Amino acid sequence: MASNISLEDIKNETVDLERIPIEEVFEQLKCSKGGLTQDEGEKRLQIFGPNKLEEKKESKLLKFLGFMWNPLSWVMEAAAIMAIVLANGGGRPPDWQDFVGIVVLLIINSTISFIEENNAGNAAAALMAGLAPKTKVLRDGKWSEEEAAILVPGDVISIKLGDIVPADARLLEGDPLKIDQSALTGESLPVTKHPGEEVFSGSTCKQGEIEAVVIATGVHTFFGKAAHLVDSTNQVGHFQKVLTAIGNFCICSIAVGMVIEILVMYFIQHRPYREGIDNLLVLLIGGIPIAMPTVLSVTMAIGSHRLSEQGAITKRMTAIEEMAGMDVLCSDKTGTLTLNKLTVDKTLIEVFPKNMDRDSVLLFAAMASRVENQDAIDASIVGMLGDPKEARAGITEVHFFPFNPVDKRTAITYIDTDGNWHRASKGAPEQIIDLCELKGEARNKAHTVIDNFAERGLRSLGVARQTIPEKTKESAGGPWEFVGLLPLFDPPRHDSAETIRRALELGVNVKMITGDQLAIGKETGRRLGMGTNMYPSSSLLGQSKDESVASIPVDELIEKADGFAGVFPEHKYEIVKKLQERKHICGMTGDGVNDAPALKKADIGIAVADATDAARSASDIVLTEPGLSVIVSAVLTSRAIFQRMKNYTIYAVSITIRIVLGFMLVSLIWKFDFSPFMVLIIAILNDGTIMTISKDRVKPSPVPDSWKLKEIFATGVVLGAYMAIMTVIFFYLAHDTHFFSKTFGVEPIAESPADLNSALYLQVTFIAAQLVATVLAVYAEWEFARIRGIGWGWAGAIWIFSIITYIPLDILKFIIRYALTGKAWDNLLENKTAFTTKKDYGKGEREAQWATAQRTLHGLQPPDAIFNEKSSHQQLSEIAEQAKKRAEVARLRELHTLKGHVDSVVKLKGLDIETIQQHYTV
């Protein structure tokens, strides 16, 4: 039959390699236990493809052209067509110089965006390549370490403790393995895999060493199929929607200006056709913020590079903007908040014999542990000793009894320095209690301690010892003595508590999402100071046994909770979905294939260090360092980047309004005609200088950022209108008066349209671009552009005029920003200190907003806003009084929680509660 099966059939999965006998696997794959030859491996690589997830590769040409395919570019492209199709009347040729200039501008912007994004992508790809897994493979009869991507069905690989299984494989002869499949199946405990059984790509070997034959690679693995099911389509992101809204605002503003110009110029003033087209082109070219996508892309690309230096690889650049606004972070517990490494809490070890101390109990447990090829429990106990060699110091090991699912304990038979024989054992508490035949008070005490440990989320481990008078390893020995109980837990990372505190200060609410038991989640939350308001996963389905919890709507419960326990991957997806429905910008951390849907659904999917390829593929950001501290650093960096982008968008809106309103008024009031080419030069110079904003020094916001379009549009319109009026005033002074001649002693230019063009062009350029613009205005003699050099006298006068008119801009910004909050006027009228520098009113407003959000999250006030923009001072005072009452309620809740902690410690330590209550009151 084997002769009828080809490798193509294997690739198409027509053969069930998972279930057939292992001998038939070799027969079907046409290989042996000696592995493949290098040549055969390369041939099969051509058939099966690389052993990694498929990556969609976009054509660089299409990617480059994509930067010219957006609403802003469409308007500029329309202007280019208009320059050669419509601008050909009045006996003049088509406007080729404007056409060429517009095309050059489009190419410049697209090239800069393409280069920066490509560089950021290359940097991320290089860092991702450094995370590529390695494996030991048998080729040409020799073992060598190779990249897992070269594996093909038929390869023989070696799997040992700590290895990530690189492909689906069948185990060959050897001892059973302990395999952690939690990243794939959600199983929290390692499973035992015997020779002949299948192991899945992406799982981790926790104990043992064995060889295996590869049966599936890449997208054909269980891992690959699960990852392939994750929808990889790109949804329209939050940032893209904002960009579209700002672009549409600018386009609509230009459209209104053009309609007014057409009606007035052609139907009222009866201006010549060609001059009218030129004036319309001025609005189109000068008003469109064509560089906006480029500037924002460059800003995010530079930010992406900075994030990669901090250990966060950005796969989707717009995730930077979304991270700046993130207000909820759903974090894994194991490995992210904690070390994913069991530890013994030495201070809570319970000792039973009176002549023994905690160190002795720990030493007996270490004796009953392996010192090599350890599992997690053995490693945690031996690791608590000052020197791991102490576990075998002064004794001779006779026999070690390994853990098995039936006995649920380990044991060692040893000889001490006096030649006496002993045994030590550790294992499941009930097994050890039964082994020692504990009765009466001792048995009750052991169960009480176990229950107290469980209430605090600590796992218990029993320890016992025995003497062997017969001095043979087969003998039953004397009675077992119960030595003590060890509490095991996964300790928090050293920086987790501080990181969570910083996150809360930044307005990011951290929720723990764990598959562990509820008690363990609460204990970790208590140690980290992140709250113990946690619920089991059943509450997500409205099935909580607690009636007070069951009565709360699920989405409200998710918003108020500090975390959830016993969670499966599908629950993670639901948590993210509900938080997004309540208008939160949600981040989610994950590491397994089953986390991929939630990572994809989240606004910011974060694959933690050592995550599977599927999790990395579905995520927006990949961490290269363990823990949450990297995320907090990334949040601060993202907020700084956001501030730069926000500053630019305000500038872009203001320039649109300035050009449209200013040039339209000058054109209609004085019937003055402009050169589109010079506005094009202005656009190129302004865009070039404004790109430096991507490295501007800014202060990150202390609270989550958001695109307040109302504020952006209002600020842009007011600033733009102010600058447009200054342009009109300047033109009036230069055209209708002798103000500049009398004040600065310059020659009048009222009778020279070319001189007026030069002066007006210099006045409307952005200050940073005026260095170049000044040279052009002084010396340029461009007849086709209708400008002529006006000399250094006029250049100096225009500089002075521009500097004076720019001074009020900060005052205008203040008025706009605080007028929108409704607070500045109260400060101005009641306190008369709004314009002083002694108090940062902006900071107070931001802190008030964040405090409101936090009170809402923790149920201290209804989610609907309790004050609005029109609230009076008296209303705000009443609200403050209500807040004080709520704060008192919150304080009582905290005291109640503290009392619960005191009671649990008292119970755990067996203290006299009556005596304590006589001296201390909570």
pLDDT in tens, 517-530: 788 888 888 888 88
Count CB atoms within 10 A of the CB of residue 829.
10
Question: Is the predicted pLDDT of residue 750 greater than 70, yes or no?
Answer: yes
Question: Is the predicted pLDDT of residue 884 greater than 90, yes or no?
Answer: no
Rounded Cα gap, residues 399 and 183, in angstroms: 35
Question: Is the predicted pLDDT of residue 88 greater than 70, yes or no?
Answer: no
Please tell me the least confidently modeled range out of 186-195, 227-236, 793-802: 227-236
pLDDT value, residue 921: 40
Mean pLDDT of the chain: 78
- The per-residue pLDDT for range 482-520, each reduced to its tens digit, is 999 999 888 888 888 888 888 888 899 999 988 777 888
pLDDT tier for residue 768 given thresholds of 50, 70 and 90:
very low
Counting residues of the chain whose pLDDT is more than 70, the rounded percentage is 75
The verdict on residue 837 lying in a domain is yes
Residues 564 and 464 placed together within one structural domain of the fold: no
Residues 419 and 534 placed together within one structural domain of the fold: no
In this predicted model, which residue has the larger pLDDT, 785 or 556?
Answer: 556
pLDDT tier for residue 822 given thresholds of 50, 70 and 90:
low
Residues 484 and 349 placed together within one structural domain of the fold: yes
Rounded Cα gap, residues 246 and 709, in angstroms: 8
Among the residues of 35-169, which ranges form H helices? 38-48, 60-66, 71-85, 96-129
- Under 8 Å between Cβ of 660 and 279: no
Residues 479 and 507 placed together within one structural domain of the fold: no
pLDDT tier for residue 330 given thresholds of 50, 70 and 90:
very high
Residues 525 and 473 placed together within one structural domain of the fold: no
What's the rounded mean pLDDT across residues 105-115? 79
Residues 411 and 326 placed together within one structural domain of the fold: no
The verdict on residue 68 lying in a domain is no
- Residues paired with residue 622 on neighbouring β-strands, in sequence order: 313, 607
The verdict on residue 41 lying in a domain is no
Rounded Cα gap, residues 373 and 311, in angstroms: 31
Residues 555 and 579 placed together within one structural domain of the fold: yes
Question: Is the predicted pLDDT of residue 849 greater than 80, yes or no?
Answer: no
In this predicted model, which residue has the larger pLDDT, 290 or 367?
Answer: 367
- Under 8 Å between Cβ of 332 and 608: yes
Domain boundary among 581, 612, 636: 636
SS3 sequence, 389-401? HHHHCCCEEEEEE
Give me the count of residues in the chain: 922
The verdict on residue 877 lying in a domain is yes
Residues 349 and 485 placed together within one structural domain of the fold: yes
Q: Which helix (H) or strand (E) holds 487?
A: strand 481-489
Written as six digits, the tokens of 438 are 């504990």
- The per-residue pLDDT for range 571-608, each reduced to its tens digit, is 888 899 899 999 899 999 887 666 777 888 899 999 88
What's the rounded mean pLDDT across residues 88-114? 75
Residues 357 and 463 placed together within one structural domain of the fold: yes
In the chain, the number of structural domains is 3
- Is the dihedral angle over the CA atoms 119, 122, 128, 134 positive or is it negative? negative
- The per-residue pLDDT for range 30-40, each reduced to its tens digit, is 899 899 999 99
Q: Please enumerate in sequence order all residues whose Cβ is within 8 A of that of 730, keeping only pairs 6 or more positions apart, or say none.
A: 759, 760, 763, 798, 801
> What residues act catalytically?
332
Question: Is the predicted pLDDT of residue 834 greater than 90, yes or no?
Answer: no
Residues 465 and 546 placed together within one structural domain of the fold: no
What's the rounded mean pLDDT across residues 437-461? 89
- The per-residue pLDDT for range 11-70, each reduced to its tens digit, is 776 677 888 899 889 988 889 989 999 999 999 999 888 888 766 666 777 877 877 777
Residues 513 and 632 placed together within one structural domain of the fold: yes
- The per-residue pLDDT for range 696-711, each reduced to its tens digit, is 677 888 888 888 888 8
Question: Is the predicted pLDDT of residue 436 greater than 90, yes or no?
Answer: yes
pLDDT value, residue 434: 92
pLDDT value, residue 230: 53
Count of alpha carbons within 13 angstroms of residue 380, beta-carbon side: 19
Question: Is the predicted pLDDT of residue 864 greater than 80, yes or no?
Answer: no
- Of 756, 752, 502, residue with least CA distance to 630: 502
Rounded Cα gap, residues 187 and 179, in angstroms: 10
- The per-residue pLDDT for range 628-658, each reduced to its tens digit, is 888 888 898 889 888 888 888 888 898 889 8
- The per-residue pLDDT for range 153-203, each reduced to its tens digit, is 999 999 987 788 889 999 998 888 888 876 666 555 678 899 999 998 878
Distances (CA, A) of 90 to 271, 471, 785: 12, 118, 17
Question: Is the predicted pLDDT of residue 823 greater than 70, yes or no?
Answer: no
Residues 331 and 414 placed together within one structural domain of the fold: no
pLDDT value, residue 90: 58
- The per-residue pLDDT for range 261-275, each reduced to its tens digit, is 999 999 999 888 878
The verdict on residue 399 lying in a domain is yes
Q: Find the CATH number of the domain harbouring 608.
A: 3.40.50.1000
Rounded Cα gap, residues 508 and 797, in angstroms: 51
Rounded Cα gap, residues 727 and 268, in angstroms: 24
The verdict on residue 110 lying in a domain is no
- The per-residue pLDDT for range 516-575, each reduced to its tens digit, is 778 888 888 888 888 888 888 888 766 555 666 667 788 888 988 999 988 877 788 889
> By residue range, what is the domain housing residue 417?
343-489
- Of 821, 725, 813, 711, residue with least CA distance to 764: 725
Written as six digits, the tokens of 416 are 């001490």
Question: Is the predicted pLDDT of residue 470 greater than 70, yes or no?
Answer: yes
From start to end of 222-283, where are the E strands?
Answer: none
Q: Which helix (H) or strand (E) holds 504?
A: helix 496-505
